[in-house]
Amino acid sequence: MSSPNINQQHQQTNDFFATLLPQHQIDVIVQQWLHDDMPSLDVGGLVVGDVPREATLWMKSPGVLAGKPFFETVFRILGCSVTWHPSAAEGVYLSASPEQKLALATVSGPIHKLLQGERTALNTLSRCSGVATLSQQAVTAARDAHWKGWVAGTRKTTPGFRIVEKYGLLVGGAATHRIDLSQMVMLKDNHIQSAGSIRSAIQMARQAAGFSQKIEVECSQLAEAMEAAQAGADIVMLDNLEPQVLKVTARMLKKEYPHVLIEASGGITTETMKDYLCDDVDIVSQGKLTQGYDCIDYSLKVLPPKTKEQSLKQAASS
């Protein structure tokens, strides 16, 4: 096995992944989300007014909490503040349910702004948490099988929502695979057919990619995999092979080219992944991690207005 043992410390919280995010770009993306949700007048906002209020973020189904930076950005842009409770650590699995809801944060600001951000913030948090939850399940299944390679997502992400889903993979302990078309070179069947051969496609790609980018080639049989490795591919994806065929192909390829990383892909799920795991496979990728996740249920409930006595008590204690 040539790939490292990832995620050895994943039991720790993953709030530090927020430092990866380009905040200036996140602000632009969130502004677009808010504009999409409120392109014109907000009559409901007129009804509630602009008095300061507080709201509680509740988690109502079990899963991995993920997406705090996006949730915070929605409300910061709207002029509100978010205070997370100590239990609300990014990357931690929480056993919530409709009967046993967990309070995770308090959001403060003008009530019309709280309601303007509510659905956008919750949609983002629930989906990011869904990706992280499914990713954590997949990684746990791989570790339980004593396999130490990379469990990865794919580029099958939602347009306009890529960075959230890729971030959710990381928080859940999975690898992102290539972030976009500009990161790493992947030559698939259409590239190879258009270039004329695997060798020609790799040679042309290498001229542009130079030494700084890896080249991965999608192969569906041993002969293609051998040609790709011999021509200089860094990674060979064995795509849509039956598990036993894949294991034999991976073993023969690794024997001849031990430096080449081997990826198993094509319709693999967390349930079937164990059938593909072996010492000769370095990466198992699952499109389902960003295509087939269940959303985690959250809600935001505005608290009743404080009485004068409660306000004075809070002011005295602060």
Integer Cα distance of 117 and 138 in angstroms: 32
**Helix axis angle, 162-171 to 111-144, nearest 10°:** 50
Q: pTM value? A: 0.90
Residue in the structure block whose two tokens are 């004329």:
196
List the chain domain ranges.
12-135+295-303, 147-291
Query: Which residues belong to the active site?
Result: 156
Query: CATH assignment of 12-135+295-303?
Result: 3.90.1170.20
Residue 79 sits at the vertex; the CA angle it makes with 75 and 85, to the nearest 5 degrees, is 50
Helix, strand and coil content of the chain, in percent to the nearest 5, comes to 45, 15, 40
The CATH number of 147-291 is which of 3.90.1150.10, 3.40.50.2000, 3.20.20.70, 1.20.1250.20?
Answer: 3.20.20.70
52 pLDDT more than 60: yes
The size of the chain, in residues, is: 318
Q: How confident is the model at residue 43 (pLDDT cuts 50, 70, 90)?
A: very high
226 token code pair: 């051998």
Write the pLDDT tens digit of every residue in 124-135.
999 999 999 999
The answer to whether the beta carbons of residues 150 and 3 sit under 8 Å apart is yes
Write the pLDDT tens digit of every residue in 134-174.
999 999 999 999 999 999 999 999 999 999 999 999 999 99
Integer Cα distance of 255 and 124 in angstroms: 45
Neighbouring C-beta atoms of residue 63, cutoff 10 Å: 25
Q: In the prediction, which pLDDT does 12 show?
A: 46
Q: Which helix (H) or strand (E) holds 57?
A: strand 52-59
Q: In the prediction, which pLDDT does 17 show?
A: 87
